[in-house]
Amino acid sequence: MKVVALTGGVGGVKLAHGLSQVLPPHTLTVIGNVGDDFEYYGLHISPDLDTVMYTLAGIVNPITGWGQNNETWQMKTMLQTYGEDVWFGLGDRDLATHILRTDWLRRGYRLTEITLHLAEQLQIPHTILPATDDRLRTMVQTVEYGLLPFQEYFVKHRWQPIVSDVSYDGAETAKVSPEVLEAIQQADLIIICPSNPILSIAPILAVQSMRELLMSRSVPTVLVSPLIGGKAIKGPTDKIMRELGYIPSTIGVVQFYEGLLDYLIIDVADASELKTVQELYPKLQILQTSTLMQTIDDRISLAQYVLACLENEEIR
Ligand code: GDP
């Protein structure tokens, strides 16, 4: 059985991690968002790919959910000594990833090749792929500061500005890589992890022909809702949905993914919405369980629950 999981960073990766623990080696491909990528002090940083890589390698900082465990910050402190306003968390160990990635990109390797190599060196028994090798950048139009590159909105301004539009710069020419194409074509199950739909999954879906490719497969596509009780566990999912005119609830999330989903897994806290969503989307199979992943066991249980969707499909 081959599984493809689409994810952003710290939220979605919890489920990807659970899947990586229960699926046999080399049966899971995690397709990561690159809309968050940016250049900082000349380094190419891929925050979401790094979060996925560090989590699946077991070296992520368990408190923040991003960055590395046992990190030190000497380089950042030195930059500050030079008077720099270092608003992005560049840890010393993390820096090694950015230096290598940047060097190899300059030498002409594709982001996919680099990501595969780094993950292999970290002995991750599954596959991590960037959504595209081409340049794609999430841009956030804000009321207070105008157009901001994603990291300035998210990290520098701590996602507080009011958002009036989100665009994906480069999406009109960004192509699906041969590796992503093959993974999706071979998948028996496609999972959309509980990530921010607008900031994490939309940049993946914005890659040319990605949506069509996903929809062309007759295998089940499952979404685990990123909202619990209509609210994000962390980050701006419900805030940004509201600001962009989506209902910040299960209904809004399903509306966002319209046409892509066969299964929807919602938290028991959102059970009151089930009937309305089912009436609006009669073909959608809606399941409810606890989707809060506080522990590794929670991640594993939810992963097993999601994978059971495939068994259902085989029975039908
Ligand atoms: P980012 O790229 O680091 O911002 O993270 P993601 O986009 O991958 O994830 C953000 C989303 O994850 C938010 O909508 C959170 O509500 C959701 N999230 C975080 N933890 C959990 C959890 O345990 N269960 C569920 N269902 N959603 C979660």
pLDDT computed for residue 309 by the predictor:
83
Q: Is the pLDDT assigned to residue 315 strictly greater than 60?
A: no
Supply the pLDDT for residue 316: 39
Residue having the nearest C-alpha atom to atom 22 of ligand 1: 292
115, pLDDT greater than 60: yes
Q: Which residue's entry shows tokens 């993390």? A: 94
- Best probe residue, ligand 1, of 14, 48, 140, 240 (max atoms within 8 Å of C-beta): 14
Residue 228 Cβ < 6 Å to ligand 1:
yes
* pLDDT for position 174: 98
Residue 106 in contact with ligand 1 by CB distance below 6 A = no
Dump pLDDT digits (tens) for 274-290: 999 999 999 999 999 99
**Residue nearest atom 4 in ligand 1 by C-alpha distance:** 9
Q: For 42-60, what is the mean pLDDT?
A: 98
- Residue range 51-70: average pLDDT? 97
Tell me, which fold does domain 3-38+132-136+170-311 have in CATH?
A: Rossmann fold (3.40.50)
Can you give the pLDDT at residue 313?
Answer: 65
Determine the distance separating the centroid of ligand 1 and the alpha carbon of 129, expressed in angstroms: 20
Residue 11 beta carbon below 6 angstroms from any ligand 1 atom: yes
